[in-house]
Amino acid sequence: NQRVLLCFLTFNKWILKTNFFQEDRNVLAFRLDPHVLDKNEYPVTPYGIFLVCGSVFRGFHIRFRDVSRGGIRLIRSANEQVYANNVATLLEENYALAHTQQKKNKDIPEGGSKGTILLAPDHQ
């Protein structure tokens, strides 16, 4: 399908770094150009956006400076409907958490960051 191919081409355009070509990997990881985010929805451009995809999880890590501190949020879903909602809002939630952490860290040299990991429905 041409639409699927166009989605892959668009995604590839924004990749800065990946482990896709490494032979011994357990997860796929992509560092994305932070300018991929729409300025209207995400007014402050982060320093880095990372997407990780494993067999039993997917997640994002967003940082607002090269050296940042924050944490990781593990997201569990009660059922398939909640899981579908969590998939749809994973990036938005991660951005909001990281941006909040950035505001908390305003008086220290480190920027704010946050990671979110969404477990697959059968690995709750």
Q: What positions carry a catalytic annotation? A: 114
State both tokens at 19: 């482990």
Residue 2's alpha-carbon distances to 10, 11, 13, 15, in angstroms, are 12, 14, 17, 20
Strand partners, 21: none
State the sign of the Cα–Cα–Cα–Cα dihedral 83, 27, 99, 95: negative
